[in-house]
């Protein structure tokens, strides 16, 4: 089954990015709502808007949240690696010994 996920169609708001960061950390909508002091409905709507921005559509056979996390990480990098202590597979050592990854935003 081929899925079509487009490059981000518009800029995300800071709140949309925050929700996606929490989503990438594996938090449920309820947990994100508690963390951000919003309602679950606000979080549901935000997740839906961001999925739409990536052209991710629910078809009953895919998990939109998983695809959204993958699309978000592919576009913005993956700070979740830092939180989990997992080395990014794109990581190289720079000339001064620093770790560099063009796809992993700091």
Q: What is the pLDDT of residue 68?
A: 92
Does residue 105 surpass a pLDDT of 60? no
Does residue 6 surpass a pLDDT of 50? yes
pTM score > 0.85 for this model?
A: no
**Do 93 and 87 touch, CB atoms closer than 8 A?**
no
- Cα separation of 22 and 32, whole Å? 6
Q: What is the pLDDT of residue 83?
A: 60
Does residue 19 surpass a pLDDT of 90? yes
Within a 13 Å sphere around the CA of 98, how many CA atoms are in the beta-carbon half?
6
Better-scored residue on pLDDT, 84 or 99: 99
Would you place residue 8 in the very low, low, confident or very high pLDDT band (cuts 50, 70, 90)?
Answer: confident
Q: For 21-80, how does the pLDDT look when each residue is reduced to its tens digit (9 = 90+)?
A: 999 989 999 999 999 999 999 999 999 999 999 989 888 888 999 999 988 888 877 665
Q: What is the pLDDT of residue 106?
A: 44
């Amino acid at each position: 089954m081929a899925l079509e996920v487009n490059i981000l169609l518009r800029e995300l708001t800071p709140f949309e990015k925050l929700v996606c960061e929490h989503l990438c950390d594996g938090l449920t909508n309820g947990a994100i709502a508690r963390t951000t002091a919003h309602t679950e409905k606000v979080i549901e709507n935000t997740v839906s808007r961001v999925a739409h921005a990536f052209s991710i559509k629910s078809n009953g056979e895919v998990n939109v949240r998983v695809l959204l996390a993958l699309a978000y990480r592919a576009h913005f990098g993956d700070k979740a690696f830092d939180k989990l202590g997992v080395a990014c597979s794109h990581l190289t050592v720079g000339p001064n010994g620093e770790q560099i990854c063009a796809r992993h935003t700091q």
